[in-house]
A and B are shown apart, each in its own frame.
Chain A
Amino acid sequence: MTTVAVERPRPAGLIAWLASTDHKRIGLLQIAASIGFFVTSGVAALLMRSELAEPGMQVVSRQSYNELFTLHGSGMIYLTITPLAIAVGIYLVPLQVGAAEIAWPRLMLLGLWLFVAGGVIMYLGLAVEHGAAKTGWFATYPLSSSAHSTGKGEDMWICGVFLAVLGNTIQSAGLLATIVRKRAPGMTMARLSPFTWSMLATVLMAITSFPVLLGTMAALEWDRLHGGVFDRSYGPVAYQLLFWFYGHPVVYVMFFPFVGMVAEAVSAFSARRFFGYKGFTLSILLFAALSMSVWAHHMFSTGRVNNEYFSLTSTMLIVPAGLEYFAIIGTMIGGAIVFSTAMLFSIGFLLLFLIGGLTGIIVASPPLDYHLTDSYFYISHFHYTLFGGSLFGFFAGVFYWFPKVTGTLLRESLGRLQFVLFVVGANLTFFPMLILGFEGMPRRVATYPTRFTTLNAIETAGAFVIALGVLVFLVNVWWSLRRRVPAGKNPFGGPTLEWWTTSPPPRLNYDSLPPIRSYAPLFDLTETTAPAEPGPPGRRSRRAPEDKP
């Protein structure tokens, strides 16, 4: 371990927290901010679903509806799941590689505040004349030009997106530096945990695709202020080609860290080292590379791109995705599975993300996509992947790592309730959308023909069930922090390095490190052939004594 000295005495108080260079505090602040934006974007969704409960306009105006779906999509993508994906890496990666500190801590802090400021600026668009941006989360041109979108709200959206993505890009570079340069002795690249591997793939995609978005947004703003960029022949197509070069990898940035979280939760709660590690790591790099090459599959119906190449690379995604499922399910097979909340969310992830992934393969076929693109089929696809995939994976990670972060356990009873509400709510909300899209309901509409009413009403009910689940989670966090149940260092028998240190970890993460001989160093220490004893869910009783609370 490198010798590190830290500033003493440690500044206390809220202001010190907000300017802290401790990666654990930065990570937690960013998670909290992301959850805050998640709630605001979720409220926008509830307003949309209230409007869509019946045909005709009852709750909001057409203009407001267009603002709502723009803020919902933009809020979820730029301000919630992407920053969340980076933030869980900011917290966990230094711990998992055995580092005392993250690389470039000031830049990580910079990224946090650029993101938060960007989000605030985007929402402030609501307060200006003509209202907030109304062109959707990808701001198709020429709809987003100054001629067709008047008012500063659109410009503020562009600035907000620019700042948030800039912040995340800087943080991704810092995470890459941490993974490559700050590993503890013995922690070779081939011994990185599955989660850290998933973060490596994530930041590679982020660093290479996010700058294209920054350039495109700058160009769009220039076009709005001075013209002459996209308002020419092929300009609108060029805008889309450049945007989607970012717009596809970002959805994998929003996914990979949570696959990594599921991989580790499944490993811990099956009491097995992760299965098929070599296949998993190679396939995650292939998954990331392919994801950089598929972007114009968002443009099949334009008639302006080479559909064949992008359809080929998009369909090839089946291979690495299938290999990841092989590894995770292979970890379950032969394990001793404990059905903690984290394990329940992991199983939910496997099943719900599958629906999202398979519907993705369907729309990767242009003749099918000609009908299904820009319809509710699409909305179902990306909500199954983002909600059923990313968010279920996130909650698997939360229920697994909460004790390490806070020193206390989350309530399993409330966790199960949240899981049930999420599963029921997600399927009620997103499954009927497959049917509606197939039957011809376009996306981004505030009203629809009366024959679509029943399914829309069911979807609205489902959205409120999801909201209830979110509420249950927030209550769980508050209650668990108030009535603490001490967790100890390794309540679940986790195999990776972070379970060696105290809960929560000290400022410099580790006072000592165990020998690192594989990707499951703590399993190496305590590997026994004694039969597993089933303990109460969430508690392991077969680990070595020093790991007990």
Chain B
Amino acid sequence: MVLGSDTRAEFGSLWSLYEWVMIVTTAIVFGTVLFAAWRYRSRRGHAPSAKSEANVAELVYTLILVVVVAVLVTRTFTTENRVDAIASNVKQHVEVTAFKWGWRFTYPGSGVSVVGDDQRRPTLHLPVDEPIVFVEHSRDVVHSFWVPALRFKRDAWPDDETEFELTVDRAGVYAGRCGEFCGLHHADMNFTVVAESRERFERWLRAQ
């Protein structure tokens, strides 16, 4: 099992770091601005300060900002390496074809193909707890394969194939969307993801 393509967990972990940085920054800036507005309001007998720079403080502050950037960039790069990685010897492959305005999912080797459009939503069955390699492409304009529950989307292009790898870590039914504006029925270009155990998945596959 390749942890790296567990996009939901990777997103959650990285998001926690960023969320923490954002909350602390917001608290500091809001606090400083509102405190300054109250403390330095115009009052009788208080002249404004003539100081117009604080170079040492500014330098220290800049260094702190550089450290924050370094931390965020390092965590982002390491996470991204894992999320973008595609393992070799992966058992399950799915071919995704996007078109205006629906999806076709093909399981190579089994001869099974599921297709649907904005009138009849297609269902994508996937086995849980194992890496799946997706190869997607578009028949017309740029679309994007997006499963919000997996915290991942990747664009589908008409002129070339795009490959990515995902692992669904728990069984369930998830919404799938098109994540790139593609014309009149972009809002209706949805699909359903059904993630189930290997046995049930293979049973479904044989029944097609």
Residues of A within 8 A of B (CB): 62-63, 66, 134-136, 140-143, 148, 232-237, 270-279, 301-304, 307-308, 311-312, 315-316, 318-319, 322-323, 325-326, 329-330, 332-339, 347, 350-351, 354-355, 358-359, 361-362, 365-368, 370-371, 373-375, 439-440, 442-449, 527, 529-534
Stretch at the interface among B61-69, B90-98, B124-132, B196-204: B61-69
Q: How far is the CA of A55 from the CA of B144 in the complex (A)?
A: 22
B173 to chain A, nearest CB (A): 13
If A271-B42, A350-B29, A365-B76 touch, whether A330 touches B54 (CB-CB below 8 Å) is yes
Determine the chain A residues whose CB is within 8 A of the CB of B42 once the complex forms. 271, 336-338, 532, 534
Nearest A-chain residue to B155, judged by Cβ: A302
Q: How far is the CA of A279 from the CA of B57 in the complex (A)?
A: 11
B4 to chain A, nearest CB (A): 11
**Do A444 and B158 touch across chains, with their CB atoms under 8 A apart?**
no
Determine the chain B residues whose CB is within 8 A of the CB of A319 once the complex forms. 62, 65-66, 69
Q: How far is the CA of A270 from the CA of B170 in the complex (A)?
A: 57
B41-68 CB contact bits vs A (8 Å, 1 = yes)?
1111111111111110010011001101
Extra inter-chain contacts (14) besides given A302-B157, A367-B11, A442-B177, CB under 8 Å:
A63-B184, A233-B159, A301-B144, A311-B77, A319-B65, A332-B36, A333-B36, A333-B39, A339-B41, A350-B29, A354-B30, A358-B22, A443-B181, A449-B175
A366 to chain B, nearest CB (A): 5
**Do B47 and A530 touch across chains, with their CB atoms under 8 A apart?**
yes
Q: How far is the CA of A336 from the CA of B187 in the complex (A)?
A: 53
Determine the chain A residues whose CB is within 8 A of the CB of B180 once the complex forms. 140, 374
Q: How far is the CA of A234 from the CA of B6 in the complex (A)?
A: 30
Q: How far is the CA of A443 from the CA of B144 in the complex (A)?
A: 12
Q: How far is the CA of A232 from the CA of B181 in the complex (A)?
A: 21
A275 to chain B, nearest CB (A): 6
Q: Out of A278, A374, A529, which one reaches B53, CB within 8 Å? A: A278
Q: How far is the CA of A532 from the CA of B15 in the complex (A)?
A: 48
**Do B154 and A370 touch across chains, with their CB atoms under 8 A apart?**
yes
Determine the chain B residues whose CB is within 8 A of the CB of A361 once the complex forms. 18, 22, 72
Q: How far is the CA of A161 from the CA of B193 in the complex (A)?
A: 41
**Do B155 and A367 touch across chains, with their CB atoms under 8 A apart?**
no
If A233-B160, A322-B65, A333-B36 touch, whether A276 touches B58 (CB-CB below 8 Å) is yes
Determine the chain B residues whose CB is within 8 A of the CB of A355 once the complex forms. 26
**Do A148 and B186 touch across chains, with their CB atoms under 8 A apart?**
no
Q: Out of A326, A336, A440, which one reaches B48, CB within 8 Å? A: A336
Residues of B within 8 A of A (CB): 7, 10-11, 14-15, 18, 22, 25-26, 29-30, 32-33, 36-37, 39-55, 58, 61-62, 65-66, 68-69, 72-73, 76-77, 79-80, 83-84, 140-142, 144, 146, 148-149, 151-155, 157-160, 162, 164, 175, 177-188
Pairs across A and B, CB under 8 Å, 11 listed: A271-B42, A319-B69, A323-B61, A336-B47, A361-B72, A368-B14, A370-B7, A375-B179, A445-B186, A531-B46, A531-B47
**Do A323 and B11 touch across chains, with their CB atoms under 8 A apart?**
no
Nearest A-chain residue to B184, judged by Cβ: A62
Q: How far is the CA of A338 from the CA of B37 in the complex (A)?
A: 9
**Do B154 and A303 touch across chains, with their CB atoms under 8 A apart?**
yes
Q: How far is the CA of A358 from the CA of B29 in the complex (A)?
A: 12
Q: How far is the CA of A367 from the CA of B61 in the complex (A)?
A: 28
If A271-B48, A351-B30 touch, whether A66 touches B142 (CB-CB below 8 Å) is no
Q: Which 7 A-B pairs have the closest CB atoms?
A: A440-B148, A334-B49, A445-B187, A371-B151, A336-B42, A534-B42, A365-B76
B102 to chain A, nearest CB (A): 16
**Do A365 and B33 touch across chains, with their CB atoms under 8 A apart?**
no
Most interface-central of A273, A319, A367, A534 (chain B CB within 10 A): A367
Determine the chain B residues whose CB is within 8 A of the CB of A338 once the complex forms. 42
Q: Out of A275, A358, A439, A531, which one reaches B148, CB within 8 Å? A: A439
If A301-B155, A446-B187 touch, whether A332 touches B14 (CB-CB below 8 Å) is no
Q: Out of A235, A371, A375, which one reaches B159, CB within 8 Å? A: A235
Q: Out of B45, B84, B159, B188, which one reaches A531, CB within 8 Å? A: B45
A81 to chain B, nearest CB (A): 22
**Do A365 and B72 touch across chains, with their CB atoms under 8 A apart?**
yes
If A347-B33, A368-B11 touch, whether A335 touches B153 (CB-CB below 8 Å) is no
If A318-B68, A326-B58 touch, whether A308 touches B47 (CB-CB below 8 Å) is no
Q: How far is the CA of A198 from the CA of B58 in the complex (A)?
A: 20
If A333-B40, A367-B11 touch, whether A322 touches B48 (CB-CB below 8 Å) is no
Determine the chain B residues whose CB is within 8 A of the CB of A447 once the complex forms. 187-188
Determine the chain A residues whose CB is within 8 A of the CB of B148 once the complex forms. 371, 439-440
Q: Out of B41, B69, B182, which one reaches A315, CB within 8 Å? A: B69
Determine the chain B residues whose CB is within 8 A of the CB of A273 once the complex forms. 52
Determine the chain A residues whose CB is within 8 A of the CB of B83 once the complex forms. 366-367, 370
B13 to chain A, nearest CB (A): 9
Q: How far is the CA of A169 from the CA of B33 in the complex (A)?
A: 36
Nearest B-chain residue to A333, judged by Cβ: B36
Q: Out of B25, B160, B183, which one reaches A358, CB within 8 Å? A: B25
Nearest B-chain residue to A57, judged by Cβ: B187
A449 to chain B, nearest CB (A): 7
Nearest B-chain residue to A232, judged by Cβ: B159
A456 to chain B, nearest CB (A): 13
**Do B47 and A532 touch across chains, with their CB atoms under 8 A apart?**
yes
Q: How far is the CA of A235 from the CA of B160 in the complex (A)?
A: 11
Determine the chain B residues whose CB is within 8 A of the CB of A339 once the complex forms. 37, 41
If A365-B18, A373-B153 touch, whether A336 touches B66 (CB-CB below 8 Å) is no
Determine the chain B residues whose CB is within 8 A of the CB of A275 once the complex forms. 51-54
If A143-B181, A235-B159, A365-B14 touch, whether A354 touches B26 (CB-CB below 8 Å) is yes
Determine the chain A residues whose CB is within 8 A of the CB of B11 once the complex forms. 367-368, 370-371
Q: How far is the CA of A135 from the CA of B155 in the complex (A)?
A: 17
